[in-house]
Amino acid sequence: MTYRILLVGGGTGGHVYPLVAVAKALQARAEQKGQKVKLLMMGDGPIFRRAAKENNIPCTTIMAPKLRRYTSAGNILDVFKIPVALVQSLLKLLWFMPDAVFAKGGYTCAFPTLVARLYFIPVFLHESDSVPGLANRMLSKRSKLVFTSFASADRYFSELGRPTMLVGNPFRAELCCIDHTQALQALKLDATKKTILIIGGSLGAQQLNDLVLNGLVQMVQKGYQIVHQTGERNYADVKKAIEQYMTEGKDSYAPLIAAQYRVYPFLDQGQLATAYGAADVAVTRASAGVLTELSYAGKPMIVVPLPGSANDHQLINASEMGRFGAVVMNGANISVQVLLSQLDRMLEPATYTDISTRIKAFAKPDAADKIALTILG
C-alpha cells in the first residue's frame, strides 16, 4: 500500500521551505519503515514553484484568495478567485486522494483543508510563529493536530479546544552545514575579515536595504564584508544605488565595495547555504524560518522585527529570540552607528562564543522528523 500525503503552503519562504523539510523527512522515515509514500506539494507563487523544482517534489498550483483586514482593491479581486480555488481543491484532492494533509498555514491552505475535511481526510497543521494569525486559528478547527514552534502559541489553540504538539520549526538542515572557509572562498571573500549577512526574509525588507545603503561605505571601511539579499522587488533600486556609489567613490571606497560586498535579489538553496556558511553575524527580520536556520547554524544575530506584522508576531518572535542571546532592535530607531556598535560588541571573541552557544538551543533539529513520524503513525 502506498501512503499518499499532500503538503500545502505557499507565498513566502516561511510557508514553503518547511514543506520541503517535512517532505524529505517523510521520504526518509517511510523508507526506514519499509513503507511506500507518494508526495504532492500544493501551493502558489514563484518561491513555491522554485522550491518544489529544486527538490524534485511533484507539485500542483492553486489560487489563494486572501482575506485582508484593511481596505484594498485586492479584496474585491479575490472574491472572484474563491469559486476557482474551491473547484481546484475539489478536483485536485479527488484526483490525488491523499491519506493525510500537512498544511503549513496561511490563506493558501484554506480551501484544500476545507475540502480535505469534506472528504474525511485528516489534516495536520503547523504554526511557525509565537502568535497564530487569523488564517491558522480558523484552519485549526479543521485539523486533527496542530504542531507548534513556540510554546506561547499553544494557548491560543488550546482556547479553541484544539490539540497541539510542540515540535519546533521544520527547516532544511543541509543549509547550515557548509564550512566557513569553503563558503568564503566560493564568494571570493577574505577569510581574515568578518562577514555580515543581511537577509530580510524571502521577499526582502526595504528598511534593512536602506540601512545597508546608508552604512555601506562605513562598513567596508571598517573591514566588514557584506552578503546582502535585497528581495527581488527591491533589487533594481539597490543595484542602481550601488552603481552610483561605485562612480562617486572610484578613487576611494569603490574598490572596497567591489571586494567586500555581495548582493543578490534572492538566495536559492545553494546560495543561501553558502551565505549561512560565510556569515559571522546576521541582520534579519523575525520570520520564524530564517530565525530557526540561523539558530541551528549558531549564528549570532541582530533581529529587526517587521513593524505592524499581523498580531505583532514578528515582535514576539524577536523577543523570544532575545532570550537566547539575539540582539533585538526597533527598526524605527536603528541607525548605522548603532548597528556598527552592536556588531563590534557581538564580534568580541568571548561575547561571540557565548551568543553562538546560547542561540543554538533555540533550533529543534528533529522538528521535521517528529512531524513525519506523527503523520505516518
Least confident of 35-39, 89-93, 287-291: 287-291
Q: Which residues in 97-114 are b (16+ Cβ under 10 Å) and which e?
A: ebbbbbbbbbbbbbbbbb
* Residue 73 pLDDT > 60: no
Q: In what order do the strands lie in the sheet with 36-43?
A: 59-61, 36-43, 2-8, 100-103, 123-127, 145-148, 164-166
Residue with cell 553562538: 356
Q: Which residues in 45-84 are b (16+ Cβ under 10 Å) and which e?
A: bebbbbbbeebebebebbbbbbeeeeeeeeeeebeebeee
**Annotation: CATH topology of 2-166:** Rossmann fold (3.40.50)
Cell of 306: 517587521
* DSSP classification of residue 76: H
Instruction: Write out the residue limits of the CATH 3.40.50.2000 domain(s) in the chain.
Output: 2-166, 174-360
Average pLDDT over residues 12-39: 92
pLDDT digits (tens, 9 = 90+) for 10-21: 887 888 999 999
pLDDT digits (tens, 9 = 90+) for 336-352: 999 999 999 999 999 99
Query: Residue 134: what pLDDT?
Result: 84
Query: Residue 102: what pLDDT?
Result: 98
* DSSP classification of residue 11: S
For 206, the 3-state DSSP assignment is helix
* Residue 372 pLDDT > 70: yes
For 72, the 3-state DSSP assignment is coil
* Residue 140 pLDDT > 70: yes
Burial class (CB in 10 A: 0-12, 13-18, 19+), 38: middle
Please provide residue 369's backbone torsions phi and psi, each rounded to the nearest 5 degrees: -65, -40
- What secondary structure does DSSP assign to 231-300, as a single string? -TTTHHHHHHHHHHHHHHTTTTTHHHHHHHEEEES---HHHHHHHHHH-SEEEE---HHHHHHHHHTT--
* DSSP classification of residue 348: S
Give 174-360's CATH code, choosing from 3.40.50.2000, 1.10.10.10, 3.20.80.10, 3.30.200.20: 3.40.50.2000
Least confident of 15-19, 164-168, 300-304: 15-19
Q: Model-level pTM greater than 0.85?
A: yes
Band of residue 200 on the pLDDT scale cut at 50, 70, 90: confident
Closest CA to 133 of 320, 318, 317, 311: 311
- Gyration radius from the chain CA atoms: 21
Average pLDDT over residues 282-293: 92
Residue with cell 501512503: 3
Please provide the size of the chain in residues: 377
Closest CA to 135 of 162, 89, 90, 104: 104
Query: Residue 175: what pLDDT?
Result: 79
Which of 243 and 71 is assigned the larger pLDDT?
243
Query: Residue 287: what pLDDT?
Result: 87
